[in-house]
Structure 1
């Protein structure tokens, strides 16, 4: 705190005034900043940026109180404008993002999930006249499964698309009659069945309860819990200079806006469009629907049902039948528990930091790059393919351009590094371009993972688990580009290499100049087998232990947490250690350190074994024996399909000593047949280490998945200084940061103890 000084006031040349704490002439600590236009911020600062808790009041009366990060509204807070609109919930980079509740100036309310300022996911919208929608949203519009209840008592439960009923659904009238059928852009289209009021449909009571009804009279509330823990999105530092922050007032004055796509949310944006009368605030909005069916509601015989067929809203066929004539083959509507669906799908919103801008931008860029480079005739890479000019650049405006489609993210610049090199690498790894695009750019999108290390990087996983996307520091980008020619040669020469497989290197530049760099890698744990344990092994013993309080089923453990050693077939072990040695030689030649072996362990639990699996003679003699392995190695037969994770299909099928030096597959009874490759589907037995506290009889049959990761750290001046400093406190040979030759030797020696002879 010695370098923080208190100044009463400081005036800037542009007329702004700041009073509070300073650090190196920058606001730092508590302070108040007044812009020349009258906008005032009072709260926490960090090196010239609004970061922490604070309150900002704009000159026109808008007010925000809550979390800030890097000069942005970021975290949890409440935004209010004088016209009566307010939003309370999660924010990301100045827009509503996460879970929150908003009341509009016309007293409509929305409570649920937001994605970059628009309704995305599940949520509840209540119009001021009493109409209510509960269900899924996409880009600010009702899309997916949802329930709409009108103030006159009518209700529709079914599928929606772009604000229209579209697909199968059930429309229930206030008097008890209902229609089950299909819609196309809000018009009945196709076959359906109308049940007049008083009809006894077999799924009536179940259907009513599933929607939150009590005898068709009360529409129960679907509560969205919003509190400081669930509604709070984890903050992420977004840097913005003080001068950039001064201009942010113009941006935030528009944060009360509704999506330009969400015409259902604002009366001033054609809310009562006649083409979509079901959304009108007028109670007469449903008269057409009621009158459409009302002609049959006067029948005395309530056992009659009406099988109908519509064509674009026009009734073209009708058949009157008695209820008893309906066969059990009549297609019945499946019940839909709205409350359960909303709760389950909204849980993901509360976990992790969903970087939707970056995910969408990444998908747009990859789709553009792969589509542009794939038609180019295949050729061997040249020296120029690695150079500074080997780049693809493109600008993606929100509105679209001659070369790019419109999108719902912010404007961004895209750069793709060495496209021909990575195209050849994908070919070399036997990865089809179409499959790659579907995995990375499909409608299911990407999902964010928690970072397993201290790097602060953001990790994404493709929806099919085949690829991991990681953000890079600028220094890591430089290292990868520098080593890329040698990396290309190494993986070309050693197709069984355990080193991370790289599939693409990209950069996104957001407004304000912020650059985000990505690398696309193969997911080493892409398998249908559950990975029960994950280890990050470096061969160091200083600080390589995990706090027990922080360990759960997804935690990546460290060297000292590994209490087992893995015994495997003699030939499999030789292949493994030989390739690790070759990979370490390559990394040593590139002056790389800090890499590790990421080890995934699939356990076949001992308690699942029975004495029936042991030798009958041993049982009769009363001997306690470890049951034989349930992992069966069988001869590999090319004509028999064996399961191989997508990103790992390049390596050779391994040979096993126990089967007479023949190529083998792994047979798991009740699960399937898996191709054994280096680092993939490798069978072993896990035995407690001699010095571990694990009971000696706890022996597991395991399937191992592994690869060498984090290969982008050079042994530079910074690392040499770190080594010197840590050597004063710890054994220089045991700390993580050592020179490359020693690091490689120690890494190899340690893994020989993990996989003993």
Structure 2
């Protein structure tokens, strides 16, 4: 006759079951506002194929590391991997691998996030595009379906995009981490891109905005009070508010000008400035001034000369050699007593370069050529926060802001020119989205000037 377990085992099992149930409930609550793609979801099969295909594609990058110097062949490379129920194609794999490496991202970490056991999340966007938006379960990476024209535009401009990130490593432009095409028998081919999420980590974000610098169709009804549904608000929702940065304001003004000038060169419009904010905890408000935090921030910031196109050494926010960080820190330590004043002066120098000039007067290619500044300043770098997503995080006195520029695929061609004239007739005297790239660039820069302090 078998003996039953001891009397203590029953309560212990009950506690274990309760803990698991409570953990599951908390996880579901965290995902409110996004839709978990479970087995009943229409995209379940597609996202499972995406996960399998991406895992294999990244494994190929692990087995065949990107070279330190990218060649023209790397930009044109297409790799096809055949799976049981689909075929996955990866475009310019070594180029995107080198960018991931320059961001301090290991391929294994990237692979684990894209192919984790947790389901992808569907994000319901109020965008007018027909794209589908997915998030990895940890909400670190965005996957977005794109049409063939948009993918061709990105790949044809990939080299100058990489050159821009090399010249301005702290750019606010969204970081594209992969371009793929999935072929499923008897179904239409799907192109999709993988991007770093600007709003990561989003645990305490309490408001998100998609800013285009205009007013027509730029209001979204907020979520009901007390609701945890995620709603991305727009320009008119932001009226009466400010992004309060103090010393970092000149840096932001300048970087927005640099990035929008680059987009003007690409002849694009309709891109968005994403802005989110969350309150700083009391212990976060002054942590940037401690010596230990300064070491970590310096390590995240840069080594002059490293770049995505020569990615032997991580650029941002990966580790830097100790001797380089020690040198930077020793220079900083010598000025400890006047550090705030020095940072403020640096911001003023960069801010004066902005000086309210229209974008058309300062193309991205020449925006710093005439300045006799050290490399750190000429490339508009800043001391990055010791944070998981430092390139898109700016801490003000009381709020942490997440800032990035997305949706850079809309070319100002014949259709958009017609749309511009139609909207001029329909909305006389009002600011609408469809304007020429120089006007769009100037207007967004003006919005940032007017809504920051």
Considering the TM-score relative to the shorter chain, is it more than 0.5?
Answer: yes
Residue equivalent to 1:565: 242
Structure 1 residues 509 and 457: CA distance shift in structure 2, 3 A: same
Mapped partners of 2:433, 2:81: distance in 1:
41
Shift of 1:550: 6.8
Contact 1:636/1:665, CA 8 A, preserved across alignment = no
Shift of 1:475: 2.4
- Helix, strand or coil at the partner of 1:524: coil
Contact 2:134/2:144, CA 8 A, preserved across alignment = yes
Q: Which runs of 5+ in 1 are unaligned?
A: 1-176, 180-192, 208-330, 398-410, 610-628, 667-672, 685-700
Equivalent in 31, 44, 58 of residue 356 of structure 1 = 44
Larger radius of gyration: 1
- Helix, strand or coil at the partner of 1:742: helix
Shift of 1:494: 0.9
Mapped partners of 1:647, 1:380: distance in 2:
14
Contact 1:352/1:448, CA 8 A, preserved across alignment = yes
Residue equivalent to 1:680: 393
Residue equivalent to 1:634: 289
Decide which structure has greater strand share.
1
- Cα displacement string for residues 133-153 of structure 1 (whole angstroms, at most 9, x for unaligned residues): xxxxxxxxxxxxxxxxxxxxx
Equivalent in 395, 408, 417 of residue 82 of structure 2 = 395
Structure 1 residues 725 and 527: CA distance shift in structure 2, 3 A: same
Structure 1 residues 734 and 338: CA distance shift in structure 2, 3 A: same
Mapped partners of 2:291, 2:102: distance in 1:
23
Matched, 1:468 2:142: yes
- Helix, strand or coil at the partner of 1:514: coil
- Cα displacement string for residues 187-219 of structure 1 (whole angstroms, at most 9, x for unaligned residues): xxxxxx724xxx8x2565xx6xxxxxxxxxxxx
Q: Structure 2 matches for 1:187-206, cutoff 5 A?
A: 194-195=4-5, 201-202=7-8, 204=10
Structure 1 residues 372 and 535: CA distance shift in structure 2, 3 A: same
Shift of 1:374: 2.9
- Helix, strand or coil at the partner of 2:392: coil
Equivalent in 235, 238, 253 of residue 577 of structure 1 = 253
Contact 1:471/1:518, CA 8 A, preserved across alignment = yes
Structure 1 residues 525 and 730: CA distance shift in structure 2, 3 A: same
Contact 1:352/1:449, CA 8 A, preserved across alignment = no
Contact 2:169/2:315, CA 8 A, preserved across alignment = no
- Cα displacement string for residues 277-322 of structure 1 (whole angstroms, at most 9, x for unaligned residues): xxxxxxxxxxxxxxxxxxxxxxxxxxxxxxxxxxxxxxxxxxxxxx
Equivalent in 538, 541, 545 of residue 215 of structure 2 = 541
Shift of 1:544: 0.7
Structure 1 residues 725 and 364: CA distance shift in structure 2, 3 A: same
- Cα displacement string for residues 237-257 of structure 1 (whole angstroms, at most 9, x for unaligned residues): xxxxxxxxxxxxxxxxxxxxx
Q: Which runs of 5+ in 2 are unaligned?
A: 302-313, 344-381
Contact 1:680/1:706, CA 8 A, preserved across alignment = yes
Matched, 1:755 2:409: no
- Cα displacement string for residues 155-199 of structure 1 (whole angstroms, at most 9, x for unaligned residues): xxxxxxxxxxxxxxxxxxxxxx9x8xxxxxxxxxxxxx724xxx8
Shift of 1:445: 4.4
- Helix, strand or coil at the partner of 1:728: helix
Shift of 1:465: 2.6
Contact 2:208/2:276, CA 8 A, preserved across alignment = yes
Equivalent in 703, 721, 725 of residue 418 of structure 2 = 721
Structure 1 residues 537 and 346: CA distance shift in structure 2, 3 A: closer
Q: Structure 2 matches for 1:150-189, cutoff 5 A?
A: none
Shift of 1:427: 1.7
Contact 2:274/2:405, CA 8 A, preserved across alignment = yes
Contact 2:300/2:384, CA 8 A, preserved across alignment = no
Residue equivalent to 2:431: 734
Contact 1:534/1:598, CA 8 A, preserved across alignment = yes
Residue equivalent to 1:77: none
Residue equivalent to 1:278: none
Structure 1 residues 428 and 676: CA distance shift in structure 2, 3 A: closer
Matched, 1:366 2:40: no
The structure, 1 or 2, with the larger RCO (C-alpha pairs under 8 Å, 6+ apart) is 2
Mapped partners of 1:665, 1:444: distance in 2:
31
- Cα displacement string for residues 420-471 of structure 1 (whole angstroms, at most 9, x for unaligned residues): 2112211222211111111111223432222242223222222333211111
Equivalent in 485, 498, 501 of residue 172 of structure 2 = 498
Mapped partners of 2:208, 2:253: distance in 1:
20
Mapped partners of 1:651, 1:342: distance in 2:
34
Mapped partners of 1:533, 1:447: distance in 2:
19
Contact 1:352/1:450, CA 8 A, preserved across alignment = no
Using structure 2 for the length normalisation, give the TM-score. 0.72
Shift of 1:342: 11
- Helix, strand or coil at the partner of 1:557: strand
Shift of 1:497: 0.4
Structure 1 residues 636 and 743: CA distance shift in structure 2, 3 A: farther
Mapped partners of 1:734, 1:528: distance in 2:
31
Mapped partners of 1:508, 1:665: distance in 2:
37
Residue equivalent to 1:703: 400
RMSD value, Cα: 3.8
Residue equivalent to 1:135: none
Contact 2:205/2:278, CA 8 A, preserved across alignment = yes
Shift of 1:648: 6.8
Mapped partners of 2:97, 2:9: distance in 1:
55
Equivalent in 114, 123, 147 of residue 449 of structure 1 = 123
- Cα displacement string for residues 653-705 of structure 1 (whole angstroms, at most 9, x for unaligned residues): 99999713358687xxxxxx659955314224xxxxxxxxxxxxxxxx21111
Residue equivalent to 1:481: 155
Structure 1 residues 651 and 593: CA distance shift in structure 2, 3 A: farther
Matched, 1:430 2:108: no
Shift of 1:564: 0.8
Mapped partners of 1:357, 1:421: distance in 2:
29
Contact 1:600/1:706, CA 8 A, preserved across alignment = yes
Mapped partners of 1:549, 1:442: distance in 2:
30
Shift of 1:630: 7.4
Equivalent in 312, 317, 329 of residue 649 of structure 1 = 317
Using structure 1 for the length normalisation, give the TM-score. 0.45
Contact 2:104/2:319, CA 8 A, preserved across alignment = no
Contact 2:133/2:145, CA 8 A, preserved across alignment = yes
